A and B are shown apart, each in its own frame.
Chain A
Amino acid sequence: MIQVNNLSKIYNEVAVLNISDLKIKKGESFGLVGNNGAGKTTFFRLILDLIRASSGNILSNGEDVSKDETWKSFTGSYLDEAFLIDFLTPEEYFQFIGDINGLSKGDIDEFLNNFAEFFNNEIIDKKKYIRELSSGNQKKVGIAAALMTNPEILILDEPFNSLDPTTQIRLKNLLKNLQKEKNVTLLISSHDLNHVTEVCDRIVVLHEGDIAHDILTNKDTLKELEKYFAV
């Protein structure tokens, strides 16, 4: 589904990301861990064609993401608040995302219904603009919007961060179901090793832009990772 070829990103002559070859299969749940500055967000931004690669390319479904825009129609993503249009109400924002993806009013209503539990009565009908929501609630809006179009690829940057415990658990279940039932290719990054090992089949550790480990998750993975990060 996603193929990375000789990818590098260089800022001020320092390589912040350097991946020579990486394949992510369809339906795989791919977890990215690493300390701050390891290149996780840079990698996700490159997949979403938000920054220009210094060399190499990324193929999504066979097409170079920087040359062809078809990936937009099957990729859902939420990296940070810059993905939200903060002067809209959540309803207006979902309407907007729905409209540009050609969803009908029925589709949007059904979506809002399905997410009612996830929103926990804190998002809809609050007569608030997104900029007035707490950071946790903003994140819920962003994640929900990324899921709205039933994407084949879902990219989330630290989705568990700043969510309350209940929502974290709901989100974990939601992601696991998506992968199992709809065969969604899942790319998430996280600082929380517990969550990421629970959700992902495969974990890649980035260190200063390079792939330090590439592990298929098993019962020892969490311990292995904890050992790696305990310095």
Chain B
Amino acid sequence: MIKWFIRHQFKEMFRSTVWQKNLILNIIMGFFLLVILVEALVGGIVLADKFHEIFPDDDPVKKFNSFLLYYFTFDLVLRYFMQQVPIMSVQPYLHLPVKKSSLINFVLSKSFLSFFNFLPLIFVIPMAFFQFADYYPISIVWVWIISVFLIALTNNFLIVYLKKQLVANPKVVGIFGLMIAFLVLFDYLNLISFSAFSTLIFGELLKHPLLIFVPAFLLIFVYSLNYFFLKSHLYPEEIKIRKDKKVDAISNIKYLKTLGKTGTLVSLELKLWWRHKRTRTIIYMLPIFLLYGFVFYPQDIYSEGFGFLIFVGVFISGGLMLNYTNYAFSYESNYFDAILANNINIKEYLRVKLVIAIIVSTICFIVTIPYVFFGFKILIINFVAWLYCIGCLSFALLYTATYNKKRMDLAKGAVFNYQGIGASNWLAMIPAFLLPIFIYLPFGLNDLPYTGIFLIGLIGLIGLLFQKSLLNIVVKQFFKRKYLMAEGFREK
């Protein structure tokens, strides 16, 4: 029976429309994943090799062990957002003479393959052989590696269970995140030492290898928890991830009601974004866009130049906006006919989209003004990048968005999900980021960096001044493309 399950799963995977339509895209994605994997492996090895140089004052074994509990707590949060709960559509098998237990075991063991289970091994295995092996016999080192892996698997099944059990409630995760923040803070202030506790338990494990039965027992426990839960709930309507049955309150926002038809359209967009998993994950990723600067601003190689900072500035102010405008119509593919057939003024409809794009970008810019801490130059660059985003990019992307006619499925998360994204969307992103750098480049090379920066801002400003005519161009384009879009969106 298991043989059949595996066969069906492979077929499901390879016959999904994403694979078949986008072979080249998949090859490119596969290549990037490979690069990332190799980089992580090399990074893990280098880190392990140099660990005693990075923390010269500490015992490397104790120091590394002190991070482990933090890692696993963080792992839980990350998994909560990003890990897919393994669901095989069990319905077609339920009426067949298949043992429930083998069905459940198969569904559960699918999650063994989760990327998160193997992530710690990238760091732990090199660490074990470059550092730990100097102090402990190899058999004990293996016990340690296996224990870490067992805990990763425990986390895996814990999150599967929690996601099935709990109402998917972001508040719970928020509280959990706050608790971690406090642990770090207390640790830092030497009030409670979570890291010392981590050192202690993994130290004990190295001393008494038989303690490996603790993580093993935990794993068996959470696995059985899942198993028995599924066993008693193996009905299609019950094994779905439980959802909050309440309807959210976006309809009740009073301010939007005062805006008439504009408010109605804005409220529709808000609901669209909040009530689909794919768009919600993009909102959850917002901190990545906003905090992007922290990766580059503290490093002199980047912060002394201009070119790269322009890119960072566009990314900060435009990251979320780009995700909104680039797919503005594909997000609505499910009901695009309704937009066309109803009494909606198309110009008003497009204007609302533009205004939302501009507001989103402006909020991102305002929130990140504190980057001025890294220098006034950063603020100036981010300011012109913002002008470029709202005056130029917003129109351009809405225009190119009309070229995508692929139906988009919003029920799945956005992370590594390229379903419904067309070649035009990818192509549009390249000039979006490169154009301001090209504008800057001739001036930068002639030692007039601020003239180049000024010009980027000026282009954005001109775009804003001519917004009426630019909007008319987008409207014309929309009317030209609407049949093709509607036809594409109807294809499931």
Contact = CB atoms under 8 A, between A and B. Distances in A.
A100 B247 CA distance: 22
A72 B486 contact: no
**Dominant secondary structure of chain A at its interface with chain B:** loop
A119 interface: no
Given A83-B337, A84-B335, A97 B342 contact: yes
B412 to A, nearest CB: 14
A60 interface: no
Interface in B471-492: 483, 486-487, 489-490
Contacts of A49: 340-341
Contact of B338 (A84, A87, A101, A149): A84
A89 B275 CA distance: 11
B483 A83 contact: no
Nearest to B333: A82
A127 B246 CA distance: 6
Interface residues of B, number: 31
Contacts of A95: 251, 264
B247 A83 contact: no
B335 A82 contact: yes
Interface string A93-117: 0011101111000000000000000
Contacts of A50: 337, 340-341, 483, 486
A107 to B, nearest CB: 14
Contact of B487 (A51, A80, A96, A97): A51
Which interface residue of B275, B341, B344, B487 has the most chain A CB atoms within 10 A? B341
B261 A85 contact: no
Given A77-B341, A83-B338, A92 B490 contact: no
Contacts of B275: 87, 129
Contacts of B341: 48-50, 72, 75, 77, 79, 83
A22 to B, nearest CB: 20
Nearest to B264: A99
Contacts of B359: none
A100 B251 contact: no
B344 A100 contact: yes
A149 B275 CA distance: 27
Given A87-B276, A97-B342, A92 B271 contact: yes
Nearest to A45: B337
Interface in B243-272: 245-247, 251, 260-261, 263-265, 267-268, 271-272
Given A51-B483, A85-B268, A87-B271, A127 B247 contact: yes
B336 interface: yes
A82 B483 CA distance: 14
Given A51-B486, A82-B336, A129-B247, A88 B343 contact: no
**Dominant secondary structure of chain B at its interface with chain A:** helix
Contacts of B193: none
B368 interface: no
B343 A82 contact: no
Contacts of B483: 50-52
Nearest to A52: B483
A85 B264 contact: no
B335 A83 contact: yes
A149 B342 CA distance: 11
Interface in B314-357: 334-338, 340-344, 346
A86 B340 contact: no
A89 B249 CA distance: 11
A73 interface: yes
B343 A87 contact: no
A85 B344 CA distance: 14
Nearest to B273: A87
A88 B334 contact: no
Which interface residue of A75, A80, A92, A128 has the most chain B CB atoms within 10 A? A92
A52 B486 CA distance: 10
Nearest to B340: A50
B262 to A, nearest CB: 10
B338 A85 contact: yes
A128 B341 CA distance: 25
Contacts of A80: 337
Nearest to A78: B341
A101 B334 CA distance: 21
Interface of B: 245-247, 251, 260-261, 263-265, 267-268, 271-272, 275-276, 334-338, 340-344, 346, 483, 486-487, 489-490
6 contacts: A49-B340, A50-B341, A75-B341, A83-B341, A96-B264, A96-B268
Given A82-B335, A88-B268, A101-B343, 6 more contacts: A50-B483, A72-B342, A82-B338, A83-B335, A87-B272, A127-B246
